[in-house]
């Protein structure tokens, strides 16, 4: 996939149709060729002060943060194919601005809500937030795009009841118990005891990413995640037979991708081991695990 870049001088690891890059997303995107990617999933820092091990989730103010968002959004649309799809997530307090910007310059296909179960402490002064918004977008309303409806069917309880069947006659056709999902998706958040859990915050469930990748790409397509974090997008896309470009600015998180996606066991003399540390303050004696 190096051929998709005009320049690839930054730190990277290429293996088995996956290219992992340790660098700022805007710098990497600026080196990529136009119309080169089939699917983009972007889950950037939300500017809400989460601890990513550096200052990558802190901006001077919301205006500065939104200007940064508009820059990487434009860069993503530039590298997206005319037939490609671009999903992005953000905090509810930011998404309305991004929604308006994309509607003015590109096209929104769907507004999706990822909802999850409640856990931990909830606010005592307002209703707790139990969802995150997702925008499904493409370059224009006239653009065609991939949507593999048969790959993402879900069970659909009908509530119907059938009378006794007389098998002396032709049996009736079975009820159709599958349907295309709506735009409200319910997946549990990634928990400490799950196998997919990694230490960085804001990890997205593999099941959510699998639905996006199956719906909006085909085997052999190029999937890009400019803010890879735990490299869940890359891991799922690779498992599903897609080509992967994963970008991550944090060197510690980059090592997760090397281990998780490219199966690298030793990097610069360091043995890459999955070490699980609980993100909340409610710890037990078993909350520090090495796998």
Q: How confident is the model at residue 56 (pLDDT cuts 50, 70, 90)?
A: low
What confidence score (pLDDT) does residue 282 get? 46
Looking at residue 57, its pLDDT comes to 58
| Sheet hosting strand 80-89, strand order edge to edge | 12-15, 18-22, 243-248, 222-225, 37-42, 80-89, 131-138, 107-115, 184-186
Which has more pLDDT, 56 or 23?
A: 23
- In this predicted structure, the answer to whether residue 63 has a pLDDT above a threshold of 90 is yes
Question: What is the reported pLDDT for 192?
Answer: 77
CA distances from 172 to 153, 156, 158, 164, 282 (A): 23, 19, 16, 11, 55
The half-sphere exposure of 276 on its side-chain side, counting CA atoms within 13 A, is: 18
Q: Determine which of 32-41, 49-58, 66-75, 147-156 has the lowest per-residue pLDDT on average.
A: 49-58
Residue of 109, 103, 90, 106 lying closest to 46 (CA atoms): 90
Of 103-107, 169-173, 187-191, 287-291, which one has max mean pLDDT?
103-107
What would the DSSP string read from start to end of 263-285?
---EETTEE---EEE-SSS---T
Pairing of strands 222-225, 243-248: parallel
Q: How far apart are the first and last CA of the chain?
A: 31
Lowest mean pLDDT among 25-34, 92-101, 185-194, 267-276: 267-276
List domains and CATH numbers for the chain: 2-290 (3.40.50.150)
Label residue 161 by pLDDT band (50, 70, 90).
low
| pLDDT(286) > 60 | no
CA distance linking residue 264 with residue 266, whole number of Å? 6
Relative orientation angle of helices 251-260 and 232-239, to the nearest 10 degrees:
20
């Amino acid at each position: 996939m190096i051929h998709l870049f005009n320049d690839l001088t930054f730190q990277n690891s290429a293996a088995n149709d996956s290219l992992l890059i340790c660098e700022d997303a805007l710098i990497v995107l600026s080196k990529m060729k136009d119309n080169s990617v089939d699917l983009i999933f972007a889950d950037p820092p939300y500017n809400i002060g989460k601890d990513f091990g550096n200052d990558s989730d802190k901006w001077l103010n919301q205006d500065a943060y939104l200007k940064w968002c508009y820059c990487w959004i434009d860069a993503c649309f530039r590298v997206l194919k005319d037939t490609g799809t671009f999903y992005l997530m953000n905090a509810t307090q930011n998404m309305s601005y991004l929604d308006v910007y994309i509607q003015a310059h590109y096209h929104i296909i769907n507004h999706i809500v990822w909802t999850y179960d409640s856990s931990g402490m909830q606010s005592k002064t307002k209703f707790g937030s139990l969802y995150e918004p997702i925008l499904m977008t493409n370059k224009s309303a006239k653009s065609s795009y991939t949507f593999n409806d048969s790959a993402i069917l879900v069970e659909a309880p009908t509530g119907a009841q059938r009378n006794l069947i007389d098998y002396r006659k032709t049996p009736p056709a079975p009820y159709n118990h599958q349907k295309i999902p709506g735009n409200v998706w319910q997946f549990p958040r990634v928990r400490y005891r799950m196998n997919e859990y990694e230490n960085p915050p804001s990890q997205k469930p593999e099941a959510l990413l699998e639905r996006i990748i199956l719906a909006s790409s085909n085997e052999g397509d190029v999937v890009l995640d400019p803010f890879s974090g735990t490299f869940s997008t890359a891991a799922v896309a690779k498992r599903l037979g897609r080509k992967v470009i994963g970008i991550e600015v944090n060197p510690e998180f980059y090592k997760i991708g090397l281990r998780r996606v490219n199966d690298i066991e030793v990097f610069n003399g360091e043995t890459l081991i999955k070490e699980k540390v609980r993100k909340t303050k409610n710890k037990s004696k078993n909350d520090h695990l090495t796998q």
